[in-house]
Amino acid sequence: MGLIRQAASIVLVSTLSFASVAELVVEKGYARKPIPGRSMSAAFMTIRNTGVEDFVLTSACLEGADSVEIHTHSHVDGVMRMRQLHELTIKAGEAVTLEPGGMHLMLFGIKELPEQPELNLCNAEKQCFSARLSTQSLVSK
């Protein structure tokens, strides 16, 4: 009987620890294909944290890009400025929207983007969440 209680305790503790982590869901995510002759672009999406703990995004990578940075736009005295954010907190139960003219993922070193590149969003502890993005072109054919 003691063995059954011990096993039940292990299952309960495991369930509680898994329930406490963050869970990220990417909604309406897309990466813009670079303008011909350029190797950088941006990605936009809503990132929803369905978990019970905040998630601090510190890095991202996208299939087809050499590097990805979290960026924001600001307008100061009529001048638009873009700056890198080294982390982005997504509070438990909330969402953050990355959109043109605001926060976004800046994509560098793009040679060719797959039609549905894989995106990985990670925290400092290397806990990562993956999603597939669609691609959009700025250039009409």
pLDDT at 14: 39
pLDDT at 140: 63
The pTM of the full predicted model, rounded to 2 decimals, is 0.81
pLDDT at 135: 97
pLDDT in tens, the chain (141 residues): 555 555 444 443 433 444 447 899 999 999 999 999 999 999 999 999 999 999 999 999 999 999 999 999 887 888 888 899 999 999 999 999 999 999 999 999 999 999 999 999 999 999 999 999 999 998 765
CATH code for the domain defined by 22-136: 2.60.40.1890
d(CA 120, CA 43): 12
- The 3-class SS string of the chain reads CHHHHHHHHHHHHHHHHHHCCCCEEEEEEEEECCCCCCCCEEEEEEEEECCCCCEEECEEEECCCCEEEEEEEEEECCEEEEEEECCEEECCCCEEEECCCCCEEEEECCCCCCCCCEEEEECCCCCEEEEECEEECCCCC
- Where are the domains positioned within the chain? 22-136
